[in-house]
Amino acid sequence: MTESPSNPTLDQLLARCALADRAAFAALYAATSAKLFAVVLRILKNQELAEDALQDVYIKIWHSAADHHAGKGAVMTWMTSIARYRAIDMLRRA
């Protein structure tokens, strides 16, 4: 995969999010929200709850972006784990 300023990787976007780059966060959201929404919707089986969960997921991603390191795995895997755990947590509290 070629890396260019016009087509940054998820790793690059997350690194920029760690520096509070809102444009990078918007790009990260655009690139990943459909998949993460599918993850939480599959678990919660309720669109409204899934939307709430997804919002919580991206808040967590924004606040935790600096905590992710390449050694922890791929960015998408890390984000999917956050989404899955948030949805499961919401089920437990319901």
How does residue 10 score in pLDDT terms, banded at 50, 70 and 90?
A: very high
pLDDT of residue 70: 78
Specify if 24 maps to a domain: yes
How many CB atoms are located within 10 Å of the residue 22 CB? 10
pLDDT of residue 69: 85
In the predicted structure, residue 58 carries a pLDDT above the cut 80: yes
Range of the domain at 85: 10-93
Q: What total number of domains does the chain contain?
A: 1
Amino acid, single-letter form, for residue 23: A
By C-alpha distance, which of 46, 44, 32, 41 is closest to 74? 32
pLDDT of residue 46: 97
In the predicted structure, residue 52 carries a pLDDT above the cut 50: yes
SS (H, E, C) 8-51: CCHHHHHHHHHCCCHHHHHHHHHHHHHHHHHHHHHHHCCHHHHH
pLDDT of residue 80: 98
Specify if 59 maps to a domain: yes
Q: What CATH number does residue 70 fall under?
A: 1.10.1740.10
Specify if 4 maps to a domain: no
Where b means 16+ CB within 10 Å and e means fewer, 31-43 reads ebeeebbebbbeb
Specify if 77 maps to a domain: yes
